[in-house]
A and B are shown apart, each in its own frame.
Chain A
Amino acid sequence: MKLYCLSGHPTLPCNVLKFKSTTIMLDCGLDMTSTLNFLPLPLVQSPRLSNLPGWSLKDGSAFLDKELKECSGHVFVDSVPEFCLPETELIDLSTVDVILISNYHCMMALPYITEHTGFTGTVYATEPTVQIGRLLMEELVNFIERVPKAQSASLWKNKDIQRLLPSPLKDAVEVSTWRRCYTMQEVNSALSKIQLVGYSQKIELFGAVQVTPLSSGYALGSSNWIIQSHYEKVSYVSGSSLLTTHPQPMDQASLKNSDVLILTGLTQIPTANPDGMVGEFCSNLALTVRNGGNVLVPCYPSGVIYDLLECLYQYIDSAGLSNIPFYFISPVANSSLEFSQIFAEWLCHNKQTKVYLPEPPFPHAELIQTNKLKHYPSLHGDFSSDFRQPCVVFTGHPSLRFGDVVHFMELWGKSSLNTVIFTEPDFSYLEALAPYQPLAMKCIYCPIDTRLNFIQVSKLLKEVQPLHVVCPEQYTQPPPAQSHRMDLMIDCQPPAMSYRRAEVLALPFKRRYEKIEIMPELADALVPMEIKPGISLATVSAVLHTKDNKHVLQPPPRPAQPIGGKKRKRASEDIPDCKVLKPLLSGSIPVEQFVQTLEKHGFSDIKVEDTAKGHIVLLQEAETLIQIEEDSTHIICDNDEMLRVRLRDLVLKFLQKF
């Protein structure tokens, strides 16, 4: 069993598991932090951005000044943003049989895999994962395609040139493999390869293994996966949460008794408690708005935003903010808000029961009804006529490199009354803000990451007790900035195996058993013999038939009557001859009684020696040795066949035959 690790990002995993005869890809996350190296794509021509000075090398050569621009001491690539794909060379991706998706954030690289690698398999995911994943992809494609950029920089990627660039460009990994965003066509084609599954549904893969999605409590439709054969069980835990937010709670019990547990997608901000951060978010929002400033919340169109809107729903009246407009701007804003209300079966119990009242499960429906929350596909059109300040705007993309958020950063960045509040933990907020410096607007970092923290993980591992844990290497040591925080790492016995990008891991357990079925008529013919209370044995002669990874014992064909003739005789020789089989023996030989029996039969001068595996009975007079071990007995005598047979018969007296 092997694990091929194609992504080094612990929360955007992409691993391939070879298990029995199947090749299973676990998630295909897309690392978008590469976009932070690029200049933002402004929706409206920005004089500030277009007038940034070109960057030149120390020696003054300026051949890169078209591609690289300098802003407040940082250098950015002036080009269409590009993404860092999972490793494609480590394993032939056309051999992947299935892809299991755990949540909508972990499928963003799907079109790259399914459309460009010769992949012919099936993708499994839950319905909300697919629907919301589609929204995220649609938004991404829309953000990038609506601002066409003529230029595509490639000069800087030359290895010799890259070495000369300032950090972080100098240290960016595998820039040659970075790719531009996919198209909507590719998205549609990729999504068409997905087969929908429900929680706890058992899916057979070629009869060899069975995969099952389980609720992971992190997002709508998010799942952990169980991959099991008859005797082995691998759990894949990715992006799980034990907090009571909107999704169905995590199913922990089904993870018990795993041989291997692959653990990814823990919280990215282990030191921040989501509750505290939500409080911080509300306080800063109210403070800004009360001072007459605007609040900008860069966010994804689904996920934490539902919980934030719910918190605000409870908070705005008490904070006297009822007349402040909330705007949600995204090409998929409407679909996201609507979708969240129709996936009742995937929601937590509390929200499920609301549906029967009937009420919308999320209170943002009421915010929309009362006009407190308004949503727009983009800031063009209706929004510009409705726009009122001070206000709160939720919009993407959290990287601040594309999407409507770029416009608001340019618009509001100059006033210290305004605040940008970062809630998504995927991007470093300082790096995200770099191309907007100098910035007068206040910046608040309230990352809300509801995924498991290390305390919860250690409780979970104690509860489900896997034999082995496999996780990204980042989880096996404290964060570099807080090396004394021994609590911020996975602590389990035996120590977790770690992986990094482009590594192949041999998983530490061997398959020992295979399940074989027996045909009824063959079973009928068996004559079990009880050798110990509760344990019976029977011999069986059969033909092992293997097809589609299923093994069946069938009755042997009847031996044909030998009629004579060469051909037939040869045929009868092929049939296994069952009759001459010696009986099988079972039981153990009690040494003391055996010695007594020997003495009774006239042997004297018997010496018994204990060995590591059993005993040696020495018949010194007869120069004979009887070696009694757990699974064998040897009589060693010097060419005295009579003696050997006598001794053999004495040994056989102590054993059962059948």
Chain B
Amino acid sequence: MDPECSQLLPALCAVLADPRQPMVDDTCLEKLLDWFKTITEAGSSLLLLQENPCLVELLCHVLKPQDLSSRVLSFSLRLTGVFAAQEDCFQYLQGELLPRLFGEAGPLGGAAWTAPTVRSGWIQGLRSLAQHPSALHFLADCGAVDTIFSLQGDSSLFVASAAGQLLVHILSLSMRGLAEGPPGLQADDWPPCAQKIVGHIEESLRSTATPQITQALNVLTTTFSHCHDPWTQVLWVQLHPLVAALLQKDPVPAAHSLVDLLLSVARSPGLSSSSCGLWETLAQTLSHLSPTQAGLLALGILKLQDCPQALRAQAFAVLLQPLACVLQATAQGPGPSGLLDSTAADSVTADMLLPSKAACVGLLCQTLVHLELLLPLPQRPCPWPQAPLLGAAVTLLQLCRGSGSPASDAGRQLCALLLGCVRVQRAALDFLGTLSQETGPPELVTQVFAVLLEYLRSPDSSPTVLKKAFQATFRWLLSSPRTPGCSDLDSHTLLFLRELLPVLQKRLCSPCWEVRDSGLEFLTQMTRRWGGQAGFRHALLASEVPRLTEQLLRDPESYVRASAVTAMGQLSSQGLCVPPAGPEHPGSQQKSLLGELLHILSTDSEGFPRRAVMQVFTQWLRDSHADVVGDTEQFVAGVLQVAGQDLDWEVRAQGLELALVFLEQMLGPLRSHCPYAVTPPVAAPAGPLTQALQSLCRVRLFEFAFRALFDCDRPVAQKSCDLLLLLRAKTASSSSLQEPRSSPDVASVEAALQRWRAGDQAQPLGDLEPEVVLAVLRSMDLEGLRGALAESSDHVEKSPQSLLQDMLATVGILGENEADCY
């Protein structure tokens, strides 16, 4: 510990021990505790206590009967635990302090115990100190384990959960000595502490009260997910019958926790699953739980790496059951729906689906999400029932719109439940989008596009549903088959596109801004993907979409303007912008898109459109867009000038990105984008270095970068620093521009930069010569600056000394306030 902190510590301890000076901000106490943890991890706690007797005094003082705040009491308990984690220090404290703090005589029996924070501090203190055999004896002696048992049912969820975790910790600590022993060791030979805990778990599992069963299951779940020693297998063998017995009850108690436990056992590498009857239990559980509860278990089973095929099949059937039920309810004629045997979609699920809207919607959404998670996994079931699943997703979407025509009563009932249900619509559209990774029979794919179009067209689709419909449509368009050797869209897709564009047109005029926004995003995605393809270009140019998009640059909603900027940037890159020649502006002077975007960059009141403009400009520069190539220098100069004055740091940072692209175009690649990439042969710089640097000076790139270097927003400064470092490295090799750094120009620039650094950025740098710039760059401590910027912004304030001072100061201020009251 620093001597400065040591000096401050007694005063702080005195403040903490004084009930008249309440610590208002308990985050300080957390920070203080963190600090002590780092100190004790680095050195001896015993030494620390001996050198700072005020700490022990504080701990002793806490025990006196007084009106101390529960926060400080809790803090002291946790602090004691931190110190006592080291065995020598534990011995030092054990004599009197520890039993009085953690035993019956301590807060445990007192009024302070009613505060959850004290109970939590007690548990965390014990959790910290339980690190060595001596601690185990102490726990046994002071009867702490029984208290922990009772705290499992604490009214505060934090306390209850911490108590469960502490039990697991104590169990594993007490078994640690045995870990190296023979794996066949019987539970009867386990240490008494472990036996006591296991006995408690057994008793809880036999209990009829669900909360107790839940507690026991949670403790076991934590045990099997954290400890993988051989003894865990013995434990499972011993407890397995009790867990299996739970399944005989109706309804199965604590089903959710049971599922967690079984999955954690199945995942545990310490257990050889086949020997412990785990697979049988899992199969039994699958058939006993309700469809909603079984879904999670089924998904867990299917994710397991090694698992018997029969169990996987059973789990998959459970997962598919609700959808099979939907297919069966809506099937036009008798016969298998294709997802499961008709007998498998049994009445149980039908009973689960139909009685209430909430149950039906919940189960269907859960099923769809589970299947969606399963689809991309390598261990997903094979063969994957793509066609029936597609059918089910389409059917669900039709039911939600009321456009399906179910023949059976169950189907009609289902239709009435799902009608207009946004949750199911969203889940089904997501699922449908995911299914696009695989293809399906052509007639089903036609249905998919039809239902998507129906959703995109429907005036009743909510904005979120519409967004999902756009996303799913894009994914299906991506996966639509392509004629080999021809990259253009196939005729079906083009036909669909022709129907889609009028819908998109209408959506771009929607009164709801979310809809306009997602329409624009969809357009951007499509253009990026197919902008170069004749069929798409033809269809798009024949529609009003490009012109409507241009009008949305002036939308009142900033998000929409931003999306319109991105979309227009993309359209323009692909040459898909049509000059607006509507009858309303005949002969009016057309502004170029570049001018329009520059106007947005310099005048828009919101950040999003300006950021979007910067991104479009960067992309245009990268792609050598026709509007940019004409006079690149003027373009870059103009953009940098506007971006440099922007109030939004992201715009300024994007300006640096643009500057970097320009640098690379002038000087050749400065950075390799992927650290593992083979460095491509260095392209010859566009011209000699001097010319390139002169060009950089003309666009005032340096002025922009230097200004950014002293930006009050750290990411901007960091980015600028990186840019200048790259530039310096690039120019270091060339000796042609070496110039003594004593020229008067250099001095004046350096002086100006000093002022900038101090915060006075009013004065411009004026025209710079490349030599001067290089000299300034060389003289600057850019590495040092980068180091300083890499530190977090509060690194000065975060020192322990400052923490202690702050805490004392707070109390001082509190005191003054008190005086003011008189």
A546 within 8 A of B: no
Shortest C-beta distance, B134 to chain A (Å), equals 69
B510 within 8 A of A: yes
- Measured between alpha carbons, how far is A276 from B582 in the docked complex, in Å? 29
Mask of A260-293 contacts with B, CB within 8 angstroms, 1/0: 0000000000011100111110111011001110
On whether A283 and B412 interact (CB within 8 A), knowing A271-B402, A291-B582, A320-B554, the answer reads no
Q: Which of A61-69, A483-491, A622-630 contacts B (4 or more CB under 8 A)?
A: A483-491
A482 within 8 A of B: yes
Nearest B-chain residue to A417, judged by Cβ: B583
On whether A282 and B510 interact (CB within 8 A), knowing A291-B544, A482-B402, A484-B406, the answer reads yes
Asked if B509 and A286 make an inter-chain contact with CB atoms under 8 angstroms apart, the answer reads yes
Mask of A301-323 contacts with B, CB within 8 angstroms, 1/0: 00000000001001101111000
A41 within 8 A of B: no
Residues of B contacting A277 in the complex (Cβ-Cβ under 8 angstroms): 459
Shortest C-beta distance, A450 to chain B (Å), equals 15
Asked if A487 and B459 make an inter-chain contact with CB atoms under 8 angstroms apart, the answer reads no
Mask of B386-408 contacts with A, CB within 8 angstroms, 1/0: 00000000000000001011110
Asked if A318 and B556 make an inter-chain contact with CB atoms under 8 angstroms apart, the answer reads yes
B460 within 8 A of A: yes
Mask of B753-779 contacts with A, CB within 8 angstroms, 1/0: 000000000000000000000000000
Nearest A-chain residue to B515, judged by Cβ: A279
Shortest C-beta distance, B637 to chain A (Å), equals 32
B567 within 8 A of A: no
On whether A318 and B419 interact (CB within 8 A), knowing A276-B458, A279-B512, A283-B509, the answer reads no
Asked if A319 and B511 make an inter-chain contact with CB atoms under 8 angstroms apart, the answer reads yes
- Interface positions of B from 533 to 566, Cβ below 8 Å from A: 544, 547-548, 551, 554-557
- Measured between alpha carbons, how far is A273 from B584 in the docked complex, in Å? 34
Asked if A292 and B582 make an inter-chain contact with CB atoms under 8 angstroms apart, the answer reads yes
Asked if B416 and A486 make an inter-chain contact with CB atoms under 8 angstroms apart, the answer reads yes
Asked if A487 and B416 make an inter-chain contact with CB atoms under 8 angstroms apart, the answer reads yes
On whether A282 and B509 interact (CB within 8 A), knowing A276-B460, A292-B582, the answer reads yes
Asked if B402 and A290 make an inter-chain contact with CB atoms under 8 angstroms apart, the answer reads no
- Measured between alpha carbons, how far is A484 from B401 in the docked complex, in Å? 13
Nearest A-chain residue to B557, judged by Cβ: A318
- Interface positions of A from 542 to 571, Cβ below 8 Å from B: none
Shortest C-beta distance, B604 to chain A (Å), equals 16
Shortest C-beta distance, B618 to chain A (Å), equals 28
On whether A487 and B415 interact (CB within 8 A), knowing A279-B459, A319-B511, A446-B459, the answer reads yes
Shortest C-beta distance, A458 to chain B (Å), equals 11
- Measured between alpha carbons, how far is A277 from B405 in the docked complex, in Å? 24
The 8 Å CB contact of B459, one of A273, A311, A390, is A273
- Interface positions of A from 473 to 508, Cβ below 8 Å from B: 482, 484-487
Residues of A contacting B416 in the complex (Cβ-Cβ under 8 angstroms): 486-487
- Measured between alpha carbons, how far is A636 from B536 in the docked complex, in Å? 104
Asked if B544 and A287 make an inter-chain contact with CB atoms under 8 angstroms apart, the answer reads yes
- Measured between alpha carbons, how far is A314 from B511 in the docked complex, in Å? 9
Asked if A484 and B460 make an inter-chain contact with CB atoms under 8 angstroms apart, the answer reads no
Size category, A interface: 20 to 34
Residues of B contacting A311 in the complex (Cβ-Cβ under 8 angstroms): 511
Asked if B511 and A279 make an inter-chain contact with CB atoms under 8 angstroms apart, the answer reads yes
- Interface positions of B from 410 to 457, Cβ below 8 Å from A: 411-413, 415-416, 419
- Measured between alpha carbons, how far is A533 from B264 in the docked complex, in Å? 69
The residue among B459, B555, B556 with the most chain A CB atoms within 10 A of its own CB is B459
Asked if B506 and A318 make an inter-chain contact with CB atoms under 8 angstroms apart, the answer reads no
B610 within 8 A of A: no
Asked if A272 and B459 make an inter-chain contact with CB atoms under 8 angstroms apart, the answer reads yes
Residues of A contacting B458 in the complex (Cβ-Cβ under 8 angstroms): 276
Residues of B contacting A286 in the complex (Cβ-Cβ under 8 angstroms): 509
- Measured between alpha carbons, how far is A311 from B510 in the docked complex, in Å? 12
B505 within 8 A of A: yes
On whether A282 and B511 interact (CB within 8 A), knowing A484-B412, A484-B415, A487-B415, the answer reads yes
The residue among A311, A318, A484, A487 with the most chain B CB atoms within 10 A of its own CB is A484
B507 within 8 A of A: yes
Residues of A contacting B557 in the complex (Cβ-Cβ under 8 angstroms): 318
Nearest A-chain residue to B507, judged by Cβ: A283
- Measured between alpha carbons, how far is A318 from B407 in the docked complex, in Å? 46
Asked if A485 and B415 make an inter-chain contact with CB atoms under 8 angstroms apart, the answer reads yes
Tally inter-chain residue pairs, CB-CB below 8 A.
78
Shortest C-beta distance, A425 to chain B (Å), equals 14
Nearest A-chain residue to B460, judged by Cβ: A276
- Measured between alpha carbons, how far is A322 from B24 in the docked complex, in Å? 57
Residues of B contacting A291 in the complex (Cβ-Cβ under 8 angstroms): 544, 582
Nearest B-chain residue to A488, judged by Cβ: B402
Asked if A317 and B510 make an inter-chain contact with CB atoms under 8 angstroms apart, the answer reads no
Asked if B509 and A292 make an inter-chain contact with CB atoms under 8 angstroms apart, the answer reads no
Residues of A contacting B505 in the complex (Cβ-Cβ under 8 angstroms): 287
- Measured between alpha carbons, how far is A163 from B599 in the docked complex, in Å? 71
Shortest C-beta distance, B219 to chain A (Å), equals 47
Residues of B contacting A290 in the complex (Cβ-Cβ under 8 angstroms): 509, 544, 547-548, 551, 582
Shortest C-beta distance, A268 to chain B (Å), equals 17
Nearest A-chain residue to B584, judged by Cβ: A292
- Interface positions of B from 272 to 315, Cβ below 8 Å from A: none
Shortest C-beta distance, B464 to chain A (Å), equals 14
Asked if A319 and B402 make an inter-chain contact with CB atoms under 8 angstroms apart, the answer reads no
- Measured between alpha carbons, how far is A286 from B556 in the docked complex, in Å? 15
Shortest C-beta distance, B453 to chain A (Å), equals 16
Shortest C-beta distance, A326 to chain B (Å), equals 16
- Measured between alpha carbons, how far is A571 from B510 in the docked complex, in Å? 90
The 8 Å CB contact of A292, one of B412, B548, B551, B583, is B583
Shortest C-beta distance, B541 to chain A (Å), equals 15
Nearest B-chain residue to A288, judged by Cβ: B509
Asked if A287 and B556 make an inter-chain contact with CB atoms under 8 angstroms apart, the answer reads no
Nearest B-chain residue to A486, judged by Cβ: B412
- Measured between alpha carbons, how far is A271 from B460 in the docked complex, in Å? 10
Asked if B551 and A279 make an inter-chain contact with CB atoms under 8 angstroms apart, the answer reads no
Asked if A319 and B509 make an inter-chain contact with CB atoms under 8 angstroms apart, the answer reads yes
Residues of B contacting A280 in the complex (Cβ-Cβ under 8 angstroms): 459, 506
Asked if A283 and B506 make an inter-chain contact with CB atoms under 8 angstroms apart, the answer reads yes
Asked if B405 and A484 make an inter-chain contact with CB atoms under 8 angstroms apart, the answer reads yes
Nearest B-chain residue to A478, judged by Cβ: B412
Nearest A-chain residue to B505, judged by Cβ: A287
Asked if A283 and B402 make an inter-chain contact with CB atoms under 8 angstroms apart, the answer reads no
- Measured between alpha carbons, how far is A485 from B584 in the docked complex, in Å? 47
Residues of B contacting A315 in the complex (Cβ-Cβ under 8 angstroms): 511
Nearest A-chain residue to B413, judged by Cβ: A486
- Measured between alpha carbons, how far is A482 from B412 in the docked complex, in Å? 11
Residues of B contacting A271 in the complex (Cβ-Cβ under 8 angstroms): 402
Residues of B contacting A319 in the complex (Cβ-Cβ under 8 angstroms): 509, 511
Residues of B contacting A485 in the complex (Cβ-Cβ under 8 angstroms): 402, 412, 415
Asked if B509 and A320 make an inter-chain contact with CB atoms under 8 angstroms apart, the answer reads no
On whether A283 and B582 interact (CB within 8 A), knowing A276-B458, A276-B459, the answer reads no
Shortest C-beta distance, A392 to chain B (Å), equals 14
Residues of B contacting A487 in the complex (Cβ-Cβ under 8 angstroms): 402, 415-416, 419
- Interface positions of B from 450 to 489, Cβ below 8 Å from A: 458-461
Nearest B-chain residue to A446, judged by Cβ: B459
Residues of B contacting A278 in the complex (Cβ-Cβ under 8 angstroms): 511
Shortest C-beta distance, A417 to chain B (Å), equals 9
- Measured between alpha carbons, how far is A317 from B419 in the docked complex, in Å? 35
Residues of A contacting B584 in the complex (Cβ-Cβ under 8 angstroms): 292, 390
Shortest C-beta distance, B455 to chain A (Å), equals 12
- Measured between alpha carbons, how far is A291 from B582 in the docked complex, in Å? 7
Asked if A273 and B460 make an inter-chain contact with CB atoms under 8 angstroms apart, the answer reads yes
Nearest A-chain residue to B555, judged by Cβ: A318
Residues of A contacting B583 in the complex (Cβ-Cβ under 8 angstroms): 292, 390
Nearest A-chain residue to B420, judged by Cβ: A273
- Measured between alpha carbons, how far is A286 from B416 in the docked complex, in Å? 34
Apart from A283-B511, A290-B544, what 5 extra A-B contacts exist at CB < 8 Å?
A276-B460, A279-B511, A284-B509, A319-B511, A484-B411
6 closest A-B pairs by CB: A276-B459, A286-B509, A280-B459, A292-B583, A276-B460, A282-B511
A-B contact pairs, 8 of them (CB 8 A): A273-B460, A279-B510, A282-B511, A291-B582, A292-B584, A484-B406, A486-B412, A487-B419
